Structure 1
Amino acid sequence: MNLSKHYGKLLAAPLSLLLFGLIACQGKVSENQYSVIPQPNELHPVSGNFRFDNSTVFHVSSALDKTCSSMIDSLIRQIEITSGYRMKAEIVEDNEAMPQNGITFSLNKNIAPEGYELTIDPNDVSVQASDRSGIFYAIQTLKQLMPTAIYGKQAVADAQWTLPCVEIKDAPRFGYRGVMIDVARHFFPKEEMKRVIDLMALHKLNNLHWHLSDDQGWRIEIKKYPKLTEIGSIRNKTMIRKEWDNYDTTPYGGFFTQEEIKEIVKYADERCINVIPEIDLPGHMMAALAAYPNLGCTGGPYEVSGQWGVRDDVLCPGKEETFTFIEGVLTEVMELFPSKLIHIGGDECPKVRWEKCPHCQARIKKEGLKANQKHSAEFFLQSYVTARVEKFLNDHGRQIIGWDEILEGELAPNATVMSWRGMDGGIEAARLHHPVIMTPNTYVYLDYYPTLNTQDEPLAIGGYNPIEKVYSLDPVPSALNEDERAYIIGAQGNLWAEYILSSDHLEYMLLPRLAALSEVQWTQTGNKNWDRFLGSLDHIISVYNEMGVNYGKHIYEISATYDVPSTDGTVMVTLSTQGDAPIYYTLDGNEPSEQSQLYKEPIQIKENSTLQAMVKRENMKTRIFKKEFRFNKATGKLPTLNSAPTEKYTFAGASILTDGLRGDFNYSTGYWMGFMNEPMDITIDLGTPTTVSSVKIGTMIQVGEWIFPPTKITVWTAGKDNNFLKQGETEIPLATADIKDGLIEYSCLFKETEANKIRILIDTTSAIPDWHGARNEKAHMFIDEVIVE
């Protein structure tokens, strides 16, 4: 079907209607007829509906290019397949009169780039845009206003094939709206990449950042360097879960041929999506070094890394052959990707090999690179690499983009900066008048857990970025002035794949957080509204159902907050869920049902209990909420903090330490309190004279995250007179290199005594030991519970 050949003729034969049972939300227009995500920036409802039937005609302006005709072809074909109607399409001149019951697509150069104007009345639909992207995004809005069956593959008998009348004027807030998919750590085949592109198109994203190389695998065919895929695409072992010295020795690999890449790039372009390749350099190059060991400082041998994290071995910029290699790779990359931007990584590049490499030191001397108060000469050596690669790409009409580490040393003249370590790097780059894409890990790292209920989640890298956190991001910091803000060109979500083993898991981590991200990127700040977004989320979820993609239901599950309001030994639990769906709960260990206690007000927990709760929803089953409370003599008694926790890891405050809940191996869930600059110093009022003889604390060890055990526990008690006497002290040896990550309890035992109050001081590791890469830095300490017996 091609409008350029078949305009004025019937586009397809009638299709018979297929009758089959559907849940209501799949076939019917939802009550909220204007549930569009991302929210259009100007939407005015009008009474009435436009109805599709066999006489509906699509009028396509001759001023639109052929790619627009292909987009409209695709829409017509999808309506025919799912409605059973047959449609006409005609190419028309701009000055022709349009008959009624028509859908007109026309050109209007006065509309902003990527914007569109959509007017629906009972007789006509008008779509105007200034470019193909605007036409495409108008089509995405039209589809979201139709029955969700439009996203299916078969005709639906009971769908109401209408469009609600409306006037929309819309254009994106940012020109760059991206998502990054990492295929280096785990490989996702061509068909899954196309599904990701379809999801991006649905949400009006326009840049796919494709992370194609890393220490753990090289995923792009380079014909000049065949060993990159023959050797570099396969790792012989992969670490199991987060057991850093335990491996699955099954070889793991995969790569995209150049023909597959061309196919994916074309598929994306048809959906107005630019594909930005990333070849991460000069660090994260173990896969390339395994294939071509002469490119390293030591000459190897090297192997494709089976561990996550950062490796010390990187490309050697002291050797001229390194730049021959880089330019050879990037030449083929440019032949495959028309993108103006080429991502060169630049992140997490250790300098330890360069410090001892005679080739690198010779390069430093030759180029006159000097240390300053902030950076050693080796940092300026990386800046030399970046600038040289930038010149090569600039000479070929391309621009570089890199992670915010490229700010260290000296920023290349024309570089775009992707700010991932928070927003400070982006602020610095904007003040230097460089284009910035905000992608702060604390908001839009989609490999972080989407829920606090991590024990029931597939393994993730850590962190906590729920959908509401993603939605709350404003990519333009208030710290910038008006001129500087213009350099923030967009935002991006990143999905790193260390622990993403399957396509289903990939989609689960993207959705529905991609919907929240799309409003961050598209919708003007004044039009963003969390409650309105939640009201539209049901509709986009029904679209996911029709598309057959996997998604998280966390927003529809039960969430809880915990409070220790006083010293009376009570933990208060407040349950909530999206909408007004009823919640039923039990405390006796039995699984809840609709016959269980209906939740109406906060639940008081005063003894060992297992709280389980369920939410009743039509057409959606969610997981049972479950929390186990274990009481001791301090539980339910609000401590007084005598020292300040790390601000980022304070969460709900002192009640975390005595709420009867234990944390898992994720310090960002809110069950842990973090300390770094000061010890943990708390006082607990036990309420009445209480016999005590021990204090136990729950701690976490993750040496790769600079989380170390405490070094000392000291305990004092006081009677009614508030005169504190020291009762015990436990010295904890400084961690050695063979310490294992895990959840560890440490105790301080003392002679049984009666106390009204107890003071507990927990000393942190003040300086990370010499055996660690971050030697002499301050260590984190995390405590989830203080247990007094």
Structure 2
Amino acid sequence: MHQYKLFALTCGVFLALAGGCKRPEPVAPAPAKPAAIIPAPRELTAADGQFVVTADTPVSFESGSGGEAAARYLADLMQRTRGFALRPDASAKPDANGIIRFELTAGESRDGQDGYSLSISPQRIVVSAADSRGLFYGAVTLWQLMTPGAAADSIALPALAINDSPRFRWRGLMLDSARHFQSPQFIKQFIDWMALHKLNVLHWHLVDDQGWRLEIKKYPKLTSVGGWRVPAGPVAAADIDPATGKPRVYGGFYTQEEVRDIVAYAAERHIVIVPEIEMPGHASAAVAAYPELGVAGTKVPQVPADWGVYSTLFNVDDATFSFFEDVLTEVMALFPGEYIHVGGDEAVKDEWKGSPKIQAQMRKLGIKDEHGLQSYFIHRIEKFLNQHQRRLIGWDEILEGGLAPNATVMSWRGIDGAVAAATAGHDAVLAPQPALYFDNRQNGPNDPSPGRGWVISVESVYKFDPAPAALQPDQLKHILGLQAPIFTEHMRTEQRVEYMTFPRAAALAEVAWSPAERRDWADFQTRLPAQLGRYDALGIHYAPTDMALNAAAAGSQRRNSHQLNMCSDKLVLSLTDDAPLQGERAVFLVDIMNPCWIYQGADLSKASDLTAVVGQVPFNFQIGNDVKGIPLPKPQTPEGELEVRLDSCEGEKLATLPLAPATSQTLTSLPPAKIAPRAGQHDLCFIFTRKTVDPIWVIDSIELAATGE
């Protein structure tokens, strides 16, 4: 924690100790803790006195400057979150007392890009910066100082001085709208929340196997076909649309008019949107719309609904590159930022390897392997983007086969990709899995949220080190910053996106903005409650931060799947049930590669009844040949059984619960199994017998009870 020293000299003390005193030499104002500001500012110094803000306090600015936008944004925020009216007023004199003043300073900001100064004295509040971005961030900090709090006639702010600027220029979140479509209204709301954390890059994942979400006027089937799919599972398959006589489709897309509006909205909040158009993999939705883009001999009859990695690739014909140039021309017209993201990740090369035509093209081009062919693909796209004064960024697989000359690497497979890129003189952005992946759960056993099986807490995000030790100081300059990917396979609703993003976004913001020496987890925890109060005022559905097992849960003999241990850690997911079509759905923790659970430390001394509530979810995962390694314990009945074994998964069979009563798509409480009491505590292993991997049988809860309880 940045250490603050408090200096207090009083003549009375010296009179008592030394019989007299002289007037001390002037000293610097006392430094102070950064109140409840997140992210913590670079420098904050306390002063004497306070400034009282009332509804009559003018918010002054120079007409037509960036200060006007900042002043009006502050007034709007205060009205929305505290019901407190401020009065933007261009006519107020800059040096008047009793005002809030936004002013641009001449020349370069000494605080660097996005920097600002905030001064609160008993006479006035002044926010100053060299550009409109700095004024905006100063307004956000001032808003934080005045919130949270109930509506009041006045707000007393302690005098202080802040000089602030960010550590990194790239401070972002990646939002996946391909797996689940979010409304334009939600995207704008999400952008607003990002701005209030001083985040400045929205990496918008618009294209993937499961959906193409961006209108391309030259290729309308990308959205009319590629923007819709039938969700996985028998429940969705049975949901027939009377208009078509076929299963109802799910999806959506953003019109170009909507995108322009969103981009403009983001720009007003100093957020750049980086669109992602996937290539050469994650191509299923596009190939379903335009089969000629795929590798000859492969078919994608419809947009798929499975998660995971498909083998579908784009071919490398000139016509396909012409297609991408057409698409990217429209993309660049919509997104004026410097970067275009081309994906480049998880391009399984099986189709290229098996295609005589593509192998012949490789020989003609003098390319030795499929990694080299992907490099050729990315090089060719980068050349087109560079011709239009844009820069290419891609996931770290674009390093394989040779990195395009001007490419920037987004490192997701740990930090190694960023280290390799920076060492070679290329810029990089840190977005490592699992450390910054917000599709991982935030909390432990008492939080049955859908997501990946890892628990990535607010604390672990906060303690992420964005300065890889393997890099020298001159190489560290190539680390542009960091972002948290929000892949939405397990975030079916907009509310779930909020829940998985916040408050971890607050921790990410401080890592990206605040100086390394100012970061302190204990201090952050003291500031976080005020931030949660702001979330309440904004209507953000955030995750609780303390989800440890409480005493009641610890003493209970009932445990849900999240409170059970997994028998293995191969591919653990917290999966949402596929039913009902509307409303709340159950969530199950399961290792899809080995559906097996351990009830640890069960007290069997009085237990005589064991009740299991079970369900099933579709196996909609593309995992290649790994599916062959999933165990299928042989069932004794056509429907299968849930076996309970004592002390280990190879131990004595304690009970067998037939699954025949549970063949519907709803949760089923199986008839209780009788067990003989045993002395002491024992581990119980639960395994489903079954003939196929689909569906996945899952445990919702296990309860032990004495007869008659």
- TM-score scaled to structure 1, two decimals? 0.66
1:378 to 361, 365, 370: 370
Secondary structure at 2:103's aligned position in 1?
Answer: strand
Counterparts in 2 of 1:239 and 1:465: CA distance versus 1, 3 Å: farther
Query: How many angstroms does 1:195 deviate by?
Result: 1.3
1:217 aligns with 2:217: no
Q: Is the 8 A contact 1:278 1:344 kept in 2?
A: yes
User: Do residues 313 (structure 1) and 216 (structure 2) align?
Assistant: no
d(CA) in 1 for partners of 2:349 and 2:267? 39
Q: Which residue of 1 aligns with 2:502?
A: 511
Instruction: Give the superposition deviation at 1:481.
Output: 1.2
| Aligned match for 1:188, one of 169, 182, 206 | 182
Q: 1:54 to 1:506 in 2, by over 3 A?
A: closer
Is the 1:284–1:310 contact (alpha carbons within 8 Å) kept by the matching residues of 2? yes
Secondary structure, counterpart of 2:307 in structure 1: coil
- Residue 716 of structure 1 corresponds to none
Determine if the alignment matches structure 1 residue 407 to structure 2 residue 399.
yes
Look up the match of 2:575.
none
Equivalent residues in 2 for 1:119-158 (5 A)? 119-148=119-148, 157-158=151-152
Corresponding position: 1:665 with 2:590: yes
Percent identity between the two aligned chains: 38
Aligned position for 1:106: 103
Q: Aligned partner of 1:434: which letter?
A: H
Q: List per-residue Cα deviations over 1:637-670 (Å, max 9, x = no partner).
A: xxxxxxxx99999xxxxxxxxxxxxx942599xx
1:313-372 Cα offsets, whole Å, 9 max, x none, are 21001x1111011101000000000011000000000111111223312321221112xx
Report deviation, 1:157: 4.5
Aligned to 2:345, what secondary structure does the other structure show? coil
Which aligned pairs between 1:99-498 and structure 2 lie closer than 5 A?
99-108=96-105, 109-111=108-110, 112-148=112-148, 157-158=151-152, 160-239=154-233, 249-298=247-296, 300-302=298-300, 303-317=302-316, 319-370=317-368, 377-453=369-445, 456-498=447-489
1:384-408 deviations in whole A, cap 9, x for unaligned? 0000000000000000000000011
Paired residue secondary structure (1:441)? coil
Give the Cα separation in 2 of the matches to 1:337 and 1:461: 31
Shift of the 263–213 alpha-carbon distance from structure 1 to 2, 3 Å rule, reads: same
Residue 650 of structure 2, aligned match among 734, 738, 747: 747
* Separation in 2, partners of 1:33, 1:162: 16
2:430 and 2:482 in contact (8 A); partners too: yes
Output one character per residue of 1:752-774: Cα deviation in whole Å (capped at 9) or x when no partner: xxxxxxxxxxxxxxxxxxxx9xx
CA–CA distance in 1 between the matches of 2:358 and 2:85? 69
* 8 Å CA contact retained: 1:239, 1:307: no
Indicate if the aligned counterparts of 1:80 and 1:87 stay in contact, CA closer than 8 A. Answer: no
Amino acid paired to 2:357: H
How far did residue 48 of structure 1 move? 3.0
Q: Counterpart of 1:56?
A: 57
Question: Cα distance, 1:458 vs. partner?
Answer: 3.0
Do the aligned partners of 1:116 and 1:129 also contact (CA within 8 Å) in 2? yes
1:599-638 deviation line (CA, Å, top 9, x unaligned): xxxxxxxxxx569xxxxxxxxxxxx999689xxxxxxxxx
Q: Distance in 1 between matches of 2:377 and 2:330?
A: 19
SS in 2 for 1:126: strand
For 1:415 and 1:246, locate their aligned partners in 2 and report how far apart those are by CA, in whole Å. 46
- In structure 1, distance between residues paired with 2:506 and 2:485: 14
Which residue identity is paired with 2:397? E
The answer on whether the counterparts of 2:445 and 2:563 sit within 8 Å (CA) in structure 1 is no
Aligned-pair CA distance for 1:127 = 0.9
Shift of 1:282: 0.7
Given that 2:44 and 2:160 are in contact with CA atoms closer than 8 Å, whether structure 1 keeps it comes out as yes
**Cα distance in 2 between the residues matched to 1:733 and 1:648:** 19
What is the deviation of 1:60? 1.7
- 1:515-567 deviations in whole A, cap 9, x for unaligned? 111111111111001011111110010001011110100x233x25xxxxxxx
Q: Kindly indicate whether structure 1 or structure 2 has the higher relative contact order, using CA contacts under 8 Å at least 6 residues apart.
A: 2
1:367 alignment partner AA? L
SS at match of 2:455: coil
Aligned to 1:28: none
CA contact (8 A) 1:665 1:743 kept: no
Deviations 1:544-599 (A, max 9, x none): 1011110100x233x25xxxxxxxxxxxxxx7xxxxxxxx648764xxxxxxxxxx
CA contact (8 A) 1:217 1:304 kept: yes
DSSP-derived class of the 2:194 partner: helix
Is this contact kept in 2: 1:461–1:498, CA < 8 A?
no
**Alpha-carbon distance between aligned partners in 1 of 2:251 and 2:561, rounded to the nearest angstrom:** 38
1:280–1:344 Cα contact (<8 Å) kept: yes
SS of corresponding position for 2:451: coil
Change in Cα spacing, 1:207 to 1:586, as seen in structure 2 (3 Å) is closer
Amino acid of the residue matched to residue 76 of structure 1?
A
Hey, what does 1:614 align to over in structure 2? none
Q: Deviations over 1:199-233 (max 9, x none)?
A: 10110000000000111011000000011011111
2:152 alignment partner, SS class: coil
The two structures have a TM-score, normalised by structure 2, of 0.73
Q: More displaced, 219-228 or 164-173?
A: 164-173
Instruction: State the distance in 1 between where 2:487 and 2:570 align.
Output: 26
8 Å Cα contact 1:446/1:465 also seen in 2: yes
Q: Distance in 2 between matches of 1:220 and 1:183?
A: 10
Give the C-alpha shift of residue 299 in structure 1.
5.2
SS in 1 for 2:192: helix
Structure 1 residues 709, 333: CA separation in 2 closer, same or farther (over 3 Å shift)?
closer
Paired residue total:
569
C-alpha distance in structure 1 between counterparts of 2:298 and 2:94, whole Å? 73
Take 1:201 and 1:386, find their aligned partners in 2: how far apart are those partners?
32
Structure 1 pair 247–500 and aligned structure 2 pair: CA distance change class (3 A)? farther
Which 5+ residue runs of structure 2 have no aligned equivalent?
1-31, 241-246, 573-587, 599-618, 635-639, 654-692, 694-709
Compared with structure 1, are the counterparts of its residues 160 and 648 closer, same or farther at alpha carbon in structure 2 (3 Å cutoff)?
A: farther
The one of 518, 521, 528 aligned to 1:530: 521
- CA contact 2:166–2:514 (8 Å) conserved in 1: yes
The separation in 1 between residues aligned to 2:360 and 2:643, in whole angstroms, is 47
User: Is the 1:463–1:666 contact (alpha carbons within 8 Å) kept by the matching residues of 2?
Assistant: no
CA–CA distance in 1 between the matches of 2:643 and 2:400?
36
Using the TM superposition, give the Cα deviation of residue 183 of structure 1 relative to its aligned residue in structure 2, in angstroms. Answer: 0.6
Partners of 2:543 and 2:381 lie apart in 1 by 41
Q: 2:44 aligned with 1:43, yes or no?
A: yes
Deviation at 1:162? 2.8
What secondary structure, in the 3-state scheme, does the structure 2 residue paired with 1:325 have?
Answer: helix
Is contact 1:55–1:101 with CA below 8 Å preserved after alignment?
Answer: no
What 5-or-longer segments of structure 1 have no aligned partner? 1-30, 150-155, 371-376, 561-574, 576-583, 590-608, 612-623, 630-644, 650-662, 674-700, 712-731, 735-739, 751-771, 773-789
Matches of 2:143 and 2:643, distance apart in 1:
50
Cα 1:158–1:60 change in 2 (3 A) is closer
**C-alpha distance in 2, partners of 1:224/1:541?**
45
Deviation at 1:704, TM superposition (A): 3.8
1:59 shift after superposition: 2.7
Tell me, in whole angstroms, the C-alpha distance in 2 between the residues paired with 1:130 and 1:744: 68
Question: Does structure 2 conserve the Cα–Cα contact (< 8 Å) formed by 1:237 and 1:247?
Answer: no
The question of 1:501 aligning with 2:492 is answered yes
* CA distance in 1 between partners of 2:239 and 2:67 (Å): 51
